[in-house]
Amino acid sequence: HRHLLGIEHLSQSDITAILDLAETYVDLNRQSTKHSDVLSGLTQINMFFENSTRTQASFELAGKRLGADVMNMAMQASSIKKGETLIDTAMTLNAMHPDLLVVRHPHSGAVDLLAQKVNCAVLNAGDGRHEHPTQALLDALTIRRAKGRLHRLNIAICGDVAHSRVARSNLILLGKMENRIRLIGPPTLVPSQFSEFGAEIYDDMNEGLKDVDVVMMLRLQKERMDGGFIPSEREYYHRYGLDGAKLALAKSDAIIMHPGPMNRGVEIDGTLADDINRSVIQEQVEMGVAIRMAAMDLLARNARDAA
Ligand code: CP
């Protein structure tokens, strides 16, 4: 592959290869000296047109730990504000000969469009409600390490599936790896067409969480609700927020995941999120750096092989 635009383009063996390489970077990142030179001499530009903490920081650290020259474009201070288009902005940066472009954009499909115009590798850091491939890969690595496998698990994805690129990429990845997926939430946030992904749909947490191995919680993505129905937070927490009573229905060793950013007391009880015996939320963040190192390493190798 030349780019990493979505999980939909990856095979089972592509996914396994990225996770296996990422394991080596988990080890590197736990050492006191964290440097490798696999991206030495290469230029990485991060373009985030939407807010980010985890994805932006981990792509930056990943590039630096692999020896790339990393530049973060401050999009709020860029000439986008003067009316320059996304494509003109990308072509301007492309003329400076980057090797890797990491792009987050609020519009679904914007990163694919940009990848068709530039002549370097493009990594999708989240486009609208479409895909967030490195998030699904880091979630997969977290699950594989916690459960010892990444197949035939019962996995619940709970909450605002409709507006979530994280849910979509996870549905595709976890389906490709032959897991049983349940989507749990109100019909406004989990529309019936999501059954096309091969998932079972529940609107009752108490039904849906029975005997699951993995509980993945999602934030209410109000910024993408376009003036539509927004549930009251108190009512939502009561029915769909993860608390101890609801978690007790899952397997006794079920893990709790959340891609972040998390809204404590809305989709998840803060004490559960911090419970190191059940919650792997901090591991997800750790795996994020390793996955992004692996993804950029593999794309740089592919570019070298194609040259
Ligand atoms: N999970 C995730 O994408 O978080 P950020 O929006 O903080 O990057």
SS3 (DSSP) at 306: helix
Q: What's the CA-to-centroid distance between 133 and ligand 1, angstroms? A: 12
Q: Which of 143, 151, 157 is nearest to 291 (CA)?
A: 143
* pTM score, whole prediction: 0.97
112 vs 91: CA distance, rounded Å: 14
Q: CA of 230: how far to CAs of 156, 160, 162, 188, in Å?
A: 22, 11, 12, 9
Give the closest residue (by CA) to ligand 1 atom 6.
52
Note whether 185 and 161 are within 8 A (CB).
Answer: yes
ipTM of the modeled complex:
0.97
Average pLDDT along the chain, 307 residues, taken 10 residues at a time: 98 98 98 97 97 97 98 88 92 97 97 97 98 99 98 98 97 98 96 94 98 97 79 93 98 98 97 98 98 98 95
Q: What is the DSSP letter of 79?
A: G
Measuring from atom 4 of ligand 1, which residue has the nearest CA?
54
224 annotated ligand binder:
no
CA of 52 to the centre of ligand 1 (A): 5
Residue whose tokens read 């459960």: 147
The predicted pLDDT at position 224 comes to 85
Q: Identify which of 55, 102, 292 to mutate to test ligand 1's pocket (most ligand atoms within 8 A of the CB).
A: 55
Is 54 labelled a binding residue? Answer: yes
**Is 55 annotated in some ligand binding site?**
yes
Which contiguous run of DSSP H or E holds residue 139? helix 133-147
Q: In degrees, to the nearest 5, what angle opens at C-alpha 31 toward C-alphas 29 and 32?
A: 115
